[in-house]
Amino acid sequence: MWHANSIWHYLLVPLLVVGLVAAYGCAAGAKAVRFSPVADTVPWVLGEQPAYLVVTEANWSQYYKSLPAGADLKSNIYLVAYWGMRPNPGHQIKIGGVEQAGDRVTVKVEFKEPEPGKFYPQVIVYPISVAQVASKAVGKVTTFVFVDQGGKQLAEVRP
């Protein structure tokens, strides 16, 4: 028997399937970009305020008085996630992943807050994570988007 509700099943289900496929296709279209963490991040520290940077051969002097030690800007770009000044070493930051979809790169930043009830020395720290990415691995990118572990956008950078 034909019911009025049946027509909604025929219309709604295909729309949901198309929507899910489209959403999954967008996420699936992103490719992981190989990166390596920079071990010595001290030369990359930037003052007291948080910052998210894409450092290239063309723009590094906007952020630093001298080229950070060990940086090879002819072959690489550097992604900098800087949490600014914090009151104890329980605050940590890490670049956990880099993905590219077309001319857009997403940089996934992970924050770690101090554990409640745990004792930390009261010493000023500057949590920073720097990732080195081969320039040829990303090609011509127009937009870098830094997001936190929940997917919230932190910054959009157009180098």
For the chain, the domain total comes to: 1
Q: What residue type is assigned to position 75 of the chain?
A: S
Confidence of residue 28 (pLDDT cuts 50, 70, 90): low
Confidence of residue 29 (pLDDT cuts 50, 70, 90): confident
Q: Is the pLDDT of residue 142 over 80?
A: yes
Question: 110: domain range?
Answer: 32-157
Give backbone dihedrals phi and psi of 12, rounded to 5 degrees, phi first.
-75, -45
Domain presence at residue 114: yes
pTM for this one? 0.81
Domain presence at residue 2: no
- pLDDT tens readout for residues 38-84: 999 999 999 999 999 999 999 999 999 999 999 999 999 999 999 99
- pLDDT tens readout for residues 85-98: 999 999 999 999 99
Domain presence at residue 9: no
- Residue 38 CA to residue 21 CA, distance in Å, equals 37
Q: What is the DSSP letter of 89?
A: T
Distances (CA, A) of 51 to 10, 89, 93, 147, 151: 50, 18, 12, 12, 17
CA angle 28, 52, 106 (to 5 degrees): 5
